[in-house]
Structure 1
Amino acid sequence: MKKILVSFAAVVALCSSAMAGVNSQTGCGLGAMIIKDNSTAVLLALQATTNGTSGNQTFGITSGTLGCQKTKFVMNEQAQEFVASNMDQLAKEIAVGHGESIETLAELLAVSDKVAFATSLQENYNSIYTSQNATMSDVLDNISTTTL
């Protein structure tokens, strides 16, 4: 155990002077903050392992810390269930820019300007539905990053 900790400390010390910024391959989190060098697969693996084993990436995403960008609205379980249950209908309504499903989603996400929300969804349709196999979490993530 001592050897692992010493090795980890050595890697952190060697990487501390490397370039700053969150890596697009491993994302934000403590791993990306401590191990800033992303030039090798080993260092990328250490970043991802640190993020995954300590569970800090989830905290960073929800709190907007550890190099993570906080989303503009909070996803809730009701919104997740609604989108999962209405994927096809929601896709059709987003394509045309209006509909009952869009209004319901706006209410679940506590969006105040529903008209602007619907317009923005329509304008960003290709960024929201990036593939035919888009999942509920993909759709909600893409809505949060492109729409508001």
Structure 2
Amino acid sequence: MKKIILGLMAGTLMTASANAASYQAQGCGLGSTLFTDGSNLVHQVLGATTNGLSGNNTFGMTSGTSNCELDGAGGQANAVFIKANKVALSNDIARGQGATLASLTRMYGCTNFNAVGSALQKNYKTIFSTQNAEAGQIDMSIRNVIEANKACI
């Protein structure tokens, strides 16, 4: 049984190396390099869990490694990240801090996490105006709040 599990893990690693893509729906980090199919729910869950357990997202974001591409202009990467992490991001914005909010702040190219967190927290109801707000709407609202409050330094 151990040999089968090790074989599966080795196969996954080889597949991940061969298929490594840029930003994944499960976030970036070790999990996105091991589980590359962002459209597969199982891969998303396994990738996000691996990212959380390994705790290397911050390093990946700051170094641009582990499928973490900094996209200061936003682009689709921010919307994909928001969609994949909507609940956690909503909770973090409500608190004005948290790992998901810090990752997104970095993706926007901001370095003043406290100013961004505070501005977004104060504008929570604007950002999440409806329960079913789309990722693109949330992204645009966040951009507008950051710009209006000059929070991105």
TM-score of Structure 1 vs Structure 2, range by shorter chain: 0.3 to 0.5
TM normalised by structure 2 equals 0.46
Larger gyration radius, structure 1 or structure 2: 1
